[in-house]
Structure 1
């Protein structure tokens, strides 16, 4: 077991793009594709045994055994010849190019965005889960829905939280961390010449890293409201970003670690007392750290609440596939009907919450210890990605946060400018 089922590897690189943590974005092709039928696009026509050949793409997962499992699932399918493409490195860019060209996937995993829908790169999948729709949470379905139509099937839920060594906090008399102020103080108190208080990514001192989304959520905000307006109070977020900046000023952050925040190596090797990371790493962390604890990101405003960034991956079908019907049938077989393999994918190579509520309820590996706490915190405080948050919106906010946290810029002015750009994007809807 190495790191996360949550985005691009190698291990030393950050597996989630900043766009994802600024609201669940996905890369959009620059080409505007016309509506495509099942007789267009990628994929060869015939595979072994005369069966229809389809390609399924995955990013390179870090956990040992995941690639073999994906290939095993494909081999189990009898109605088509499914070839698994395991994509290392920059999956975003390779997928964007593949969806725009003629040699991309038929079925693939990604994070749904409105841009994928409006550029006609994915097909609607509402019909695939019609019979089991009630077995998914509203949050999971919301992250896979644009304008009331479902374009993706949830594969795994990956909550991200703050994990810590209980003994280090106890030694400093830190009994609880309820607010962002508490977190800043605790990180400073826990920092020694050998150990940093908190690790949240190797870029955290310059751009806030993976914590920007949780900061917004913990002020009580969201990126967007359901009626497509700005979903956060800029004043509250500005105050919270100043506290992120303070973490850097206090030199409480671990920076330049051998691996990024998605890998548990830093906390396991004693480089930090607390680390922001996903539930996927619980098995390895639990073996390495006897006194492992976990908490949500603390509330970041007086009337805010704790938050858990609940990411994940979803299955989609390319609108340029030559075999849309066959790709849909395979996607339904694997990610809707085949609960045995869904359970294996979620629990055998790391810990992830199965999106199907019925599967999650009987996942015994998640019913005790730190894993059970993660599941409960996700249920209480989890916030899923918003497919309506576009890459352009993410860039506007990311650039503002980088200037605020990394360069000392005025937070209210920067956020006001970002909001103006985001509203311009919203008007395009």
Structure 2
């Protein structure tokens, strides 16, 4: 199960600290032959990262083989997929169509490395998750087609909360109090990753305070006393010794929860089938709670791989046509991709309504949380460098007790310099 969590799910929680690759202008020669074996069809290369769920690779190869208008070759890429893609886009040897976490980066767009896909959606536009379409757009133009939606959420053991006389927490203070009451010599109250939440709580900490990474007009979004308070609370979880640390597997895997090492865990939707099998009926799902009774709102981080087209493809039009065929027209394949090889929400509302696995129990509750409290993982203009600065600050605050106000000044300085670079 760990493999599944750290493959398809790497779109949530791992991307913020990746170093940005340099960008160059686009060219026209891909260095690859443009036709099929007999020249009658264009030859396209499509890249995916290595998914952990059994059957996924065979599925995408089957989809590609069924496409009638081009010969599509799949490259399945283990290892540091993001770096491989970023590097390939600087050359003439990159893929024609590729997936990328939350759509292409702003540097890919500004560097003319990907092509606009706005015209591909047509009447289907209103059927796609609007927040994800916005996340994959820049200046009103779409550069990625959402493939499948993933989300993080808080799972809790009903029996343990009941035994401790604890209600499902609605605020961060209630969550801390619950974690204290649920911690004993065998069980910790909360698991948010072996790093104490550094890697996954950056967004929820801001949203719970009613803030965001950037404002609507793309300015630094959390130079605010509420952000300082929220980050101090994360430190309190650490000092209260209610967090599970050093678990055999990390937050993306449900083993710590199903094995009784923790009463609550911030994890992902993809873990629910394993949890259901291990603890049938004895778990519920919650968003990360709002900061307090008067401040902020509950939240769940939402991410999606987006299908992108390389501007250096020798067959841009053919690549766009294939991307539309697979991720707009082929709704049966889209539902299959979301539900048959794991546990995920289709990127389109009409398909989510058809997903049988999402119609009852905690899974249905999770979809409700996604629709009511979902936040795209981070904004388009939130750069990898800004993400690294924030993650480093979180580490110092949570693990070492650094002053949040001082740390946020540094993050603000880095972010403002990045915004100036990006927007010119």
Q: Which residue in the other structure is 1:45 paired with?
A: 34
**Equivalent residues of 2:206, 2:212 under 8 A apart:** yes
**Equivalent residues of 2:12, 2:302 under 8 A apart:** no
Question: How far is the alpha carbon of 1:5 from its aligned partner?
Answer: 6.2
Partner secondary structure for residue 329 of structure 1: helix
**Equivalent residues of 1:27, 1:92 under 8 A apart:** no
Question: How far is the alpha carbon of 1:159 from its aligned partner?
Answer: 1.6
**Residues in 2 aligned to 1:330 and 1:349: alpha-carbon distance in whole angstroms:** 22
**Residues in 2 aligned to 1:411 and 1:196: alpha-carbon distance in whole angstroms:** 26
Partner secondary structure for residue 147 of structure 2: strand
**Equivalent residues of 1:140, 1:154 under 8 A apart:** yes
Does residue 387 of structure 1 match 2:342? Answer: no
Question: How far is the alpha carbon of 1:247 from its aligned partner?
Answer: 1.5
Q: Which runs of 5+ in 1 are unaligned?
A: none
1:327 is aligned, of 286, 311, 319, to 319
2:413 is aligned, of 392, 395, 420, to 420
Does residue 102 of structure 1 match 2:95? Answer: no
**Residues in 1 aligned to 2:393 and 2:164: alpha-carbon distance in whole angstroms:** 35
Q: CA RMSD in A?
A: 2.0
**Equivalent residues of 1:7, 1:60 under 8 A apart:** no
User: Counterparts in 2 of 1:206-217, with a 5 A limit?
Assistant: 208-217=198-207
Q: Which residue in the other structure is 2:255 paired with?
A: 265
Does residue 115 of structure 1 match 2:107? Answer: yes
Question: How far is the alpha carbon of 1:346 from its aligned partner?
Answer: 0.9
Q: Structure 1 stretch 307-316 or stretch 41-50: which is displaced more?
A: 41-50
Question: How far is the alpha carbon of 1:188 from its aligned partner?
Answer: 2.2
Does residue 314 of structure 1 match 2:309? Answer: no
**Equivalent residues of 1:216, 1:222 under 8 A apart:** yes
Question: How far is the alpha carbon of 1:367 from its aligned partner?
Answer: 1.2
**Residues in 2 aligned to 1:244 and 1:303: alpha-carbon distance in whole angstroms:** 16
Q: Which residue in the other structure is 2:10 paired with?
A: 15
**Residues in 2 aligned to 1:178 and 1:54: alpha-carbon distance in whole angstroms:** 50
Q: Which residue in the other structure is 2:142 paired with?
A: 150
Q: Which residue in the other structure is 1:401 paired with?
A: 394
Please list the CA deviations of residues 356-405 of structure 1 after superposition, one character each: whole Å capped at 9, or x if unmatched: 12111222221111110000011110011311211121122122222211
Partner secondary structure for residue 408 of structure 2: helix
**Residues in 2 aligned to 1:174 and 1:364: alpha-carbon distance in whole angstroms:** 32
Q: 1:327 and 1:42, CA in 2 relative to 1: closer, same or farther beyond 3 A?
A: farther
Does residue 246 of structure 1 match 2:239? Answer: no
Q: Which residue in the other structure is 2:26 paired with?
A: 35
User: Counterparts in 2 of 1:348-387, with a 5 A limit?
Assistant: 348-385=340-377, 386-387=379-380
Partner secondary structure for residue 296 of structure 2: coil
Does residue 165 of structure 1 match 2:157? Answer: yes
TM-score by length of 1: 0.91
Q: Structure 1 stretch 356-365 or stretch 151-160: which is displaced more?
A: 356-365
**Equivalent residues of 1:203, 1:209 under 8 A apart:** yes
Q: 1:43 and 1:277, CA in 2 relative to 1: closer, same or farther beyond 3 A?
A: farther
**Equivalent residues of 1:221, 1:233 under 8 A apart:** no
Q: Which residue in the other structure is 1:411 paired with?
A: 404
Does residue 184 of structure 1 match 2:176? Answer: yes
Q: Which runs of 5+ in 2 are unaligned?
A: none
1:281 is aligned, of 268, 271, 290, to 271
**Residues in 2 aligned to 1:363 and 1:17: alpha-carbon distance in whole angstroms:** 22
Aligned length: 416
Q: Structure 1 stretch 48-57 or stretch 290-299: which is displaced more?
A: 48-57
**Equivalent residues of 1:307, 1:383 under 8 A apart:** yes
Q: 1:69 and 1:82, CA in 2 relative to 1: closer, same or farther beyond 3 A?
A: same
Partner secondary structure for residue 414 of structure 1: helix
Partner secondary structure for residue 132 of structure 1: helix
**Residues in 2 aligned to 1:184 and 1:316: alpha-carbon distance in whole angstroms:** 41
Q: Which residue in the other structure is 1:297 paired with?
A: 288
**Residues in 1 aligned to 2:3 and 2:132: alpha-carbon distance in whole angstroms:** 19
Q: Structure 1 stretch 397-406 or stretch 215-224: which is displaced more?
A: 397-406
Does residue 90 of structure 1 match 2:80? Answer: yes
